[in-house]
């Protein structure tokens, strides 16, 4: 890739909701905007059976994905892989009932722990309230789990499942197709959409990106955003490094996290979708810097600060 071809952080493209063919028999279902709870999925076609990667969020999204899949598949989806436990990737699992659902050990445990988040998400995003009131929704965790690595075969196509240490969550799974040099990265990558570390670790996330850099992946399918390349992963790294370096200076100066959040300059990353996520991200960085044991963020405090951050910027 030449410098001229490389993406620039200040150029944020638009993308459509569509099924994209990545290689013969390999597709991704990309959803426009990539905003809150609007994620991507994958599809690996076999002669006798096929595999889906992630189940999306509310029923209308999952059904639209399955309708699009039916137009390109010649065999039924018999296996689903969850890249992590968050509901924008797993709430649609119930529409795969009776099939094999694979996830990390902790994906199953976290789905059982968190349960149905309909009330919590409806409070944050009331535009999803009607979708979440659908009585067909139920929590269906993986029925096959793994710990560090697992290999599947779709016909002769090798599919590697790789757990990375705490990044976006404690249970992130990469889905790697080595022959095709394709990586379904789940929420370890966000392209042109601000990443969110409210349950993760940004320092750990940077270490996870080191793992991606060591892989021979030429195209990367993010959990949110359009299909990208290693150059887009470098942009994501730049976002985290921008936050990390400025937040560390504030932390070492003894500034409270609220002051740090308001003083950090996102530069061109302010153009990415949902930039107010700087709030939970810097709160998580302060936890990372302190070395205290991981603990859930105060979402009420985070929400209030996000509104304050937006108001201060006239948004």
At 78-102, the pLDDT tens digits run: 999 999 999 999 999 999 999 999 9
Burial, 82: exposed, middle or buried (Cβ in 10 Å; 0-12, 13-18, 19+)?
buried
Decide: helix, strand or coil at residue 11. Answer: coil
What share of the chain in percent tops pLDDT 90?
Answer: 89
At 166-175, the pLDDT tens digits run: 999 999 999 9
At 49-82, the pLDDT tens digits run: 999 999 999 999 999 999 999 999 999 999 999 9
Prediction pTM value: 0.95
The beta-carbon contacts of 243-251 under 8 Å, at least 24 apart in sequence, are 243/202, 243/278, 243/281, 243/282, 243/285, 244/202, 244/203, 244/206, 244/285, 247/282, 247/285, 247/286, 247/289, 248/285, 248/289, 251/285, 251/286, 251/289
- At residue 139, φ and ψ (nearest 5 deg) are -85, 120
Q: What superfamily in CATH does domain 18-241 come from?
A: Ribonuclease Z/Hydroxyacylglutathione hydrolase-like (3.60.15.10)
Please, where are the H alpha helices in the chain?
Answer: 59-70, 87-90, 105-114, 118-124, 129-132, 202-213, 230-252, 257-263, 278-290, 299-312
Per-residue model confidence (pLDDT) at position 82? 98
Burial, 236: exposed, middle or buried (Cβ in 10 Å; 0-12, 13-18, 19+)?
buried
**In the block, which residue shows the tokens 């690595």?**
149
Q: Are 47 and 24 in contact (CB under 8 A)?
A: no
Per-residue model confidence (pLDDT) at position 1? 42
At 239-252, the pLDDT tens digits run: 999 999 999 999 99
At 113-139, the pLDDT tens digits run: 999 888 889 888 999 999 999 999 999
CB atoms within 10 A of CB 51: 23
Residue 10, pLDDT > 90, answer: no
β-pairing, 77-81 vs 26-30, is unpaired
C-alpha 86/C-alpha 100 separation (Å) is 19
């Amino acid at each position: 890739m030449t410098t001229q071809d490389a993406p620039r952080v200040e150029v944020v493209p638009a993308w459509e909701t569509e099924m994209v063919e990545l290689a013969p028999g390999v597709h991704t279902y990309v959803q426009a905007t990539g905003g809150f709870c609007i994620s991507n999925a994958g599809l690996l076609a076999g002669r006798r059976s096929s595999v889906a990667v992630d189940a999306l969020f509310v029923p209308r999204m999952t059904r639209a994905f399955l309708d699009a899949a039916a137009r390109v598949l010649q065999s039924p989806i018999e296996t689903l892989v969850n890249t992590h436990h968050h509901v924008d990737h797993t709430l649609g699992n119930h529409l795969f009932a009776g099939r094999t659902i694979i996830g990390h050990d902790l994906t199953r445990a976290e789905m059982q722990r968190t349960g149905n988040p309909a009330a919590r998400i409806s409070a944050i995003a009331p535009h999803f309230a009607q979708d979440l009131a659908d009585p067909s929704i139920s929590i269906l965790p993986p029925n096959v789990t793994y710990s560090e690595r697992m290999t599947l075969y779709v016909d002769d196509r090798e599919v590697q499942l790789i757990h990375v240490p705490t990044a976006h969550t404690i249970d992130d799974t990469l889905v790697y197709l080595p022959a095709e040099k394709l990586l379904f990265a789940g929420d370890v990558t966000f392209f042109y959409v601000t990443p969110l570390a409210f349950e993760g670790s940004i320092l750990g996330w940077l270490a996870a990106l080191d793992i991606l850099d060591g892989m021979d992946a030429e195209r990367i399918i993010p959990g949110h955003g359009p299909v990208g390349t290693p150059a887009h992963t470098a942009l994501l790294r730049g976002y985290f490094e921008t936050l990390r370096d400025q937040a560390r200076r504030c932390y070492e100066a003894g500034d409270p996290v609220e002051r740090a959040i308001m003083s950090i300059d996102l530069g061109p990353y302010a153009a990415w979708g949902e930039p107010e996520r700087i709030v939970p991200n810097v709160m998580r960085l302060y936890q990372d810097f302190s070395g205290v044991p991981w603990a859930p963020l105060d979402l009420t405090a985070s929400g209030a600060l996000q509104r304050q951050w937006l108001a201060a910027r006239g948004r």
